[in-house]
DNA sequence: CATCAGAAACTGCAATAGCAGATAGCATAT
DNA sequence: ATATGCTATCTGCTATTGCAGTTTCTGATG
């Protein structure tokens, strides 16, 4: 019997993370970056074999992916990779618009002076990256900025949801940053505007600006086009 | 394949639930209605024994709850029930405000005439329940109304998120409906207003009214008080 | 009495084996 | 040629067993 046609290599025994966690991340990223195409049949057993582990952790990873909608399993028949393309990215994008808006609003309510100082530092740290046009580092800095605001919101469920979303549209955002050369600077200015609203303790404006920012960046990368059919 | 002219519909795969699924629901509801207090230590083995099944399905259920933040497990030390009280309900409520708003906006864009007819029927079906003051049936009808709008939005991730949320604040909503006698009628009027915005194909107003509705009902039941400390 | 090894009893995690439903292939019968 | 029945082999699902840390109890020792 041949191994499963997934190009997944066995897991390295280096990390302290559980095998299930590692299998989950591996599969999640493979789906997110498109290397696991939709419709691909996944067998717990053969996948376990190609990862060099037993079927249990694999199964756990699959159930987790199923809960997130990235995989659908027909009882006693098989598990398939769900569709994950422009349409799904757009759907996730709309959720991010709503949730990050709430996050900004809450951050404007709860942020301390120290928090705002940290956000300013994050913003300032992006400037040299802008000059150098280091896309990968910029994407990380962006995610750090947004993630920090998420933390200030003080809503554990909100933060959890956004973390999960970010894992999936990470690759799409990278592509978007590369495709439109003026996007990084524009995003930076919008970040600064959001931060000034937070600093002013204006939840309404913080939310409005955040929503506009996320939505505009989605439009700039053409992601929302997938919904205007 | 033979055409089989009988009007039989395919069997639903949901009829037989896996042990893991059943264990998950049991635990989830126990946490949601407070019968599993925060800090309670849960052992995979002993819980499995008291449920009459093996440890595997229980473990799956626990990992799922962990992904939802309702349980926290310290590797090789134990699993405990996370805090789930007014504060958490309020946090979930704010997420619902944002997501249901998006849902209403999308529904206003995508709803067909038939969809609107169905929503009107759902609304009309609530009227006798209002007169009879049948709280349990009203809560179900409310969830059906909101759930139907979620479906119209055509965003699978949005729908999934809201379904998960609803499972947790279901009990709180029941309590809220009971505590304020004028709430059911007020909710009904707001539902009607939302529907009219959807009918008018006005996404902005549908979203605004939905957000106001969810937020106000949260305030009426005192749930949001937990955040104004 | 206090302290501290060390065994015993937990814990979550992982591997293995086996069950039952579902499918595909093939032989047989009509 | 088509339909039927059987079998081998897939699938996900569950049970059992054992592993490796962690905690807790215990009892000998100071």
User: Which residues in chain B touch residue A102, judged by CB atoms under 8 angstroms apart?
Assistant: 94-95, 97-98
Q: Report CB contact under 8 Å: B160, A95.
A: no
Contact B97 A97 (CB under 8 A): no
Euclidean distance between CA atoms A228 and A216, whole angstroms: 15
CATH number of B86-227: 1.20.120.530
Domain spanning B19-81, CATH architecture = Orthogonal Bundle (1.10)
Coarse DSSP helix, strand, coil percentages of chain A, rounded to the nearest 5 percent: 70, 5, 25
Nucleotides of C under 7 A from a protein CB: 10-17, 20-23
Alpha-carbon gap, residue B67 to B79, rounded angstroms = 13
What are the pLDDT tens digits along chain A (229 aa)?
Answer: 333 344 566 554 445 789 999 999 999 999 999 999 999 999 999 999 999 999 999 999 999 999 999 999 999 899 999 999 999 999 999 999 999 999 999 999 999 999 999 999 999 999 999 999 999 999 999 999 999 999 999 999 999 999 999 999 888 888 888 878 889 999 999 999 999 999 999 999 999 999 999 999 999 888 999 887 6
A126-172: per-residue pLDDT in tens?
Answer: 999 999 999 999 999 999 999 999 999 999 999 999 999 999 988 88
Domain boundaries, chain B: 19-81, 86-227
Within window 15-54 on B, which residues have Cβ closer than 7 Å to strand D? Answer: 18-20, 48, 53-54
DSSP SS3 for A12: coil
How far is the C-alpha of B218 from the C-alpha of B222, rounded, in Å? 6
Nearest by Cα to B176 from B226, B219, B119: B219
Q: Is the CB of A20 under 7 A from strand C?
A: yes
């Amino acid at each position: 019997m041949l191994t499963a046609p997934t190009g997944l290599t066995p897991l390295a025994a280096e990390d302290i993370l559980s095998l299930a966690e590692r299998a989950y991340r591996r599969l999640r990223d493979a789906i997110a970056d498109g290397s696991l195409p939709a419709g691909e049949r996944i067998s717990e057993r053969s996948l376990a074999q190609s990862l060099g582990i037993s079927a249990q952790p694999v199964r756990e990873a699959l159930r987790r992916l199923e809960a997130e909608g990235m995989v659908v399993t027909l009882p006693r028949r098989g598990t398939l990779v769900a569709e994950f393309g422009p349409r799904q990215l757009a759907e996730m994008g709309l959720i991010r618009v709503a949730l990050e808006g709430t996050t900004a609003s809450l951050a404007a309510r709860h942020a301390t002076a120290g928090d705002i100082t940290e956000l300013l530092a994050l913003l300032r740290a992006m400037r040299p990256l802008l000059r150098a046009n280091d896309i990968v580092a910029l994407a990380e800095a962006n995610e750090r900025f947004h993630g920090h605001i998420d933390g200030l919101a003080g809503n554990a469920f909100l933060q959890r949801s956004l973390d999960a979303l970010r894992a999936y549209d990470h690759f799409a955002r990278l592509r978007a940053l590369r495709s439109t050369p003026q996007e990084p600077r524009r995003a930076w200015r919008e970040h600064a505007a959001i931060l000034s609203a937070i600093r002013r303790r204006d939840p309404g404006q913080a939310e409005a600006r955040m929503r506009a920012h996320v939505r505009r960046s989605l439009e700039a990368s053409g992601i929302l086009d997938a919904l205007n059919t």
